[in-house]
Every structure is written in C-alpha cells, then in structure tokens.
Chains A and B, each alone.
Chain A
C-alpha cells in the first residue's frame, strides 16, 4: 500500500484548516509529516538543514484535484493550495487506504495534528524533525549507538522467528517484518552508515533516517507481538507497509531493486 502523490496531497489538504495550505514549503512539511505517521507516500524527500524537502512539491502545477492561488505576503508572491471537489473524492480514496494501517484513534490524531500544523508558519513545523531522526553532526554519537542497538534488537527477534506460526496473514506479515527489518538494520549499520560523514550531509536521504528511527520505535512492539495471542493486525500492517512498500527502485534496500542480493552479500 502506498499513497500516490496526488492522493497524499489531497489527504493533507482535506485535513488542513479550510482545506487549504498557504505555501509550497508548508505543503512539503505537512506531506513529510505523513512519514512520521508511517503512511507510505510516493514522494521521496531529502533532508536539508530545514527538514524534509522535495523540490517537485515546490513546483507543483494546478490540477483537477487542487487549485493554486497566488497572494502577496511580506512583499513576496506566495502560492496557496486549495482542495477542489474532485480532490475531496481522491482524499476519500486515500482515507480508505489509510484505514487499513491506522486505527480510528490514530487517524483522529493525524487529523488534529495536520489541522493544527496547517495553521503554523512553515518554519515551526519541522523544528523537532532533525532531533528525532538524529540527522545532525552533533548527534553522530547517538546515531552510532542507535544503529548498534537496532541491529542487536532485531537479531534477537530474528533468532526467535520460527516460534511464530503461519496461520494468518497477520502472522505471515509479522514474520516478514522481523526478517526484513533485521536485514535492513544490518544494511544500515554495515553498509549505509559504515562511515558516518564528519560533515553535515546536505544530500541526506530521508528513508535512511526514518528507517533507523522507526526500527527503534517498533522494537518493543515487535517483542510484545511475538508472544501475543491476539495480534494487533492494523499496527503490524502499518509497520509492514511502511518498511517494505514505501521505497521503490531508487532506494538500494528495496525488494524492487534487482541488485539487492549484491548489497546483502
């Protein structure tokens, strides 16, 4: 499951105050925020000094789903994005997809969060992003620790994978998630971050950092689910869809990369 670019934009506009977002920068940040809720979207972000950023979002053209209005602010011409009726229908399609990975309460929380963030200036939206994701050079030590911790935790879980039966889709997904995240944690530590750059990485790839963050976040949940009699199907599906399906050919650790075997060798 992955939201297309248009579905993601319409969902964000639908959840925003007055169904509009007042600048491309803000739209960028609100879209990137979907990643923190583990909603896979077909937009790849870079992490620059100001947070997640995708140049294509900045140069969006008006479409059948949303209109773009220009207005003056602080002596500059700024673009505002407004949802159209057809965009509302697409947002509904997106919601149906999201319902498979978020519990009702989680969706309500996403709705409130996007609604509130849409009223803030863009500069305030991603203040905490770097800190959470350990992107900055000052947090290099913590990043190294996190990589080690993730690999150890995932190895522990992987060692017990055969204790999970395969009677339901959820159990099959749980096993796959553990297997995949173990290999991903190994790749991140031994390949991708084998040498952590001394300088700030101006071309940092968002998924590297999000994956490190999410593996850390979900470890205790996976430990709990391994022994739980009744599995949390929605949450397992959420982690599964994000980790496995949010990246396509452009990310090296992807099942869509035909050379993945060489990376893992």
Chain B
C-alpha cells in the first residue's frame, strides 16, 4: 500500500488546464494554446501519481470564483499580455473572460479524479501557531488567509497513517513549509519543485 498521499490547492489544479486560444485572439497571443505556470511539472506529477496508484486529493468547498480570477490574472501577466492596450475591436474583456470560463469548466471536468477533503472551520489553534512564528513573506501578507488555514485544519483531521503532502505555489504554504511540517505533519511541495 502506498504510504503517502498528495493534495493540491485549487490554484495548482487550475495550473493543470491547457487554455485553448480562440482563433480571433491568436494574433495577439502568438500561439494556439497557453499553459499556466508550472503546468508541465504538475502534469508529470499527476501522471506519476496515476501510474503509481497514489491517491490525489483536493479541498472542498472550493473557492473557485476567487481562484479562477487569480489564475487568469497570473496567466495574463506571465504571458506579458497588455490587454489595456488592445482596442475594443479586438475584444480584450472577452478574451479575459474566455480564459476564466475555460478554467471554470476545467475544474468541473477533473474533480472526479480527485478525492475530497473537507476544509475545517476550526482554525483558532492553527492560526495561533502562525502568529507565534510569524515570518516576513515577500509576495503575500505574513499570516495565511482563513481559507488556507481551513485547508490545513481539514488536512490535519483527515485520517491517514503515512505522509501527507500538499502541492501549492502559494507562499502562505511554501513560505511556512517547516512550520507546517513540524506542527501539523504535512509536507509542503512547492509547485516549481514538484
């Protein structure tokens, strides 16, 4: 029996999506397909887990509205697309919305492949651990958001004898990897290192 399980935060799941560029927009994207950051690494990991029979998890309820917008903006920035400079005739808002829509539909398609772990609202003690060991983060606010803490709390409650791993590119996780491992016995794997 495999002794480890992998879980993914919602943004990492969204990074698995291949964005198909509708024909009209190809001229300013310069390609037919956009792959979100760390797509290849994540796809390889998913393939490896599939073939090894290792369970994959996601956290519910999701925060899809927030996370799709976050990943959509990330994609636009990573691709260096200056949509505000594109004329109305080229439908810049429609392009953004199409990326967003594809991300939403992608999550619907892949959810069956992932088992679910319920987030847990009981986060008081977990939050205190972060406050007591506050670090200065470079990209995010120092203390993780409640949604991140609910993920940790839900994962802690999830019964499993072997190693629990979480894949995320959120600094609230990898920035506190040591604390999360020592206090909650969860190994954080940064997307770009997976």
Contact = CB atoms under 8 A, between A and B. Distances in A.
Most buried by A among B27, B93, B98: B93
Contacts, number: 80
Contact of A180 (B26, B64, B94): B94
A183 B91 contact: yes
Contact of B65 (A161, A169, A244, A255): A169
A125 interface: no
Contacts of B96: 166, 172, 176
Nearest to A254: B24
Interface stretch (A3-11, A40-48, A144-152, A256-264): A256-264
Contact of B69 (A167, A175, A178): A167
Nearest to A244: B94
B89 A175 contact: no
B68 A261 contact: no
Interface in A231-259: 240, 244, 249, 254-258
Contacts of B90: 261, 264
A168 B25 CA distance: 22
A209 B25 CA distance: 26
The prevalent SS among residues of A at the interface is helix
Nearest to B68: A169
Nearest to A173: B97
B24 A261 contact: yes
A208 interface: no
Interface size grouping (class) on chain B: 20 to 34
A240 B22 CA distance: 15
B1 interface: no
Given A172-B96, A255-B91, A166 B24 contact: no
B94 A176 contact: yes
Given A1-B105, A170-B65, A179 B93 contact: yes
Interface residues of A, number: 30
Given A244-B94, A260-B24, A172 B69 contact: yes
Contacts of B93: 161, 172, 175-176, 178-180
Contacts of A170: 65
Given A169-B68, A179-B93, A264-B89, 9 more contacts: A1-B105, A169-B69, A176-B94, A182-B88, A244-B97, A254-B24, A258-B23, A261-B24, A265-B89
10 contacts: A166-B96, A168-B65, A168-B69, A177-B97, A182-B88, A254-B24, A256-B24, A260-B23, A260-B24, A264-B89
User: Lowest 10 A-B CB distances belong to which pairs?
Assistant: A176-B97, A258-B23, A255-B22, A264-B89, A260-B24, A176-B93, A176-B94, A179-B93, A175-B93, A255-B24
Interface of A: 1, 158, 161, 166-170, 172-173, 175-180, 182-183, 240, 244, 249, 254-258, 260-261, 264-265
